[in-house]
Amino acid sequence: MAKINYSLSTKVDKITGKAEIYIRFIGGRDLIYRGKTGLMVNPKRFAGGLITIPRIETQEQKDLVKLQKSLSELSNYIIDSFTNADKKTMQGDWLQVAIEMWNFPEKFITTKPVTELSFFESFKHFLSIWKISQVRKNNYMVVFRSLQRFELYKQKIEPTYKISFDTLNTETIRNFEKFMLSEPELSKKYPQIYEAVKESRKPKQRGLNTINVNMTKLRTYINWCIEEGLITKNPFKGYDETPAIYGTPYYLTLKEINDLYIFDLSATPKLADQRNIFVFQCMIGCRVSDLYGFTKDNVINGAIEYIARKTKDDRPVTVRVPLNKKANEILSLYANLEGKQLLPLILEQKYNIAIKDIFTLAGLTRMVTVLNQTTRKEEKRPLNEIASSHLCRRSFIANLYNKVKDPNQVSELSGHKAGSKAFARYRQIDENQKKELVNLLD
């Protein structure tokens, strides 16, 4: 079983006060490698081969969390590279080369003819040349790793099994879909597979919508392979995917947002700050990933301006949302924050926990109908149990829709692509409109 240990360089940068993290990789008795990660940390925040993260919520804490995430992603990449490497031909610089490939992937775009690449090699090449955000590439790598585990699983029955362009067919596609649905149980039965190809967390039961999204990603890659002449017969031909099903989006009414805004949280000032951030997000409708990237520079002539991170690489469109009275009031509360920080943000995970606590204190426990993505059955849940940062975006869009019936105007403010299927799901007729329609029958 591969093992990774980290240590710290004794050389400390005089300007930053940080030292480089070193890595020692053990893949077997004769497979021991050392390398430099290129990641730097303050020696005071490194002990026993681990990054130590303070509990106090500061900018340093946020930076250390990001560093820990990068180190974890690098570890997964190295293990992934080792799993797929030919152990007989591995050189002494293998680890350092793998680290360089992770840090600077653009330097390693293959010069090998595409037609000579293996299935997994061409998948990586496909991602290296495709201009999409790193977040989307990471999502594709989830499918990539699932395919690797699927291959290892098949080898339990057929030791010589390999996913290749020659063996790929409709049956392979169907079997892969079944495999993804069964991963939670298979991870317990074959733990060695999940040690060889790790994820950041243990496999959980995937809903059919998630499976559908993953299969769509695989289809996109296969279509590219067909265009490149790597595959002559489309393995997706004859495969009927399970259609995605989404429930009607639940959201906060304008009255609920206002009641939450004026609710007295003076006894819990930290929660009051997060409540203000939540309401601000409801007023501008951005994704939480964009919210966490805002600085004072994003406030331009009475509006928030930004390029949505989800689309900036393949469809960069500037979103401009004028600030209304509530939004301006909230920003004025934090005008004196140090540096360019716009709002007193905490870790995103803690933000979502705080939202649930705020809803509970404010009595926002209204029951809503949600769709269980695993069972695809309706459930009744109280708002305070399921509230999260994305509720802001839904509330922003739905409330604007109830006031303005032009989807193009709303999509300009939300950053959705015109005609987006995802955007169309936000369309909901509120209760008053329903009553007005029914009253027409009197």
**76 near 142, Cβ under 8 Å?**
no
pTM: 0.57
pLDDT of residue 218: 94
pLDDT of residue 247: 58
CA-CA distance, 106 to 298, in Å (whole number)?
A: 30
DSSP per residue, 41-83: E-GGGEETTEE---SS-SHHHHHHHHHHHHHHHHHHHHHHHHH
Where do the domains of the chain lie, and which CATH numbers do they carry?
1-108 (no CATH), 112-244 (no CATH), 254-439 (1.10.443.10)
CA-CA distance, 233 to 16, in Å (whole number)?
A: 56
pLDDT along the chain (442 residues), means of 10: 85 90 86 90 90 85 89 85 70 82 70 77 87 76 92 92 91 93 89 81 76 90 92 87 65 93 96 96 90 90 82 65 94 90 88 95 90 70 91 86 64 59 55 54 55
DSSP per residue, 362-423: HT---EEEEEETTTTEEEEEEHHHH--THHHHHHHHHHHHHH---HHHHHHHHTPPTT-HHH
pLDDT of residue 246: 59
pLDDT of residue 287: 87
pLDDT of residue 417: 60
pLDDT of residue 101: 80
**289 near 309, Cβ under 8 Å?**
yes
Torsion, Cα 184 185 189 192, to 10 degrees, reads -10
In whole angstroms, how far apart are CA 7 and each of 36, 76, 192, 253, 376? 10, 18, 27, 52, 47
pLDDT of residue 341: 85
As beta bridge partners, residue 31 has 28
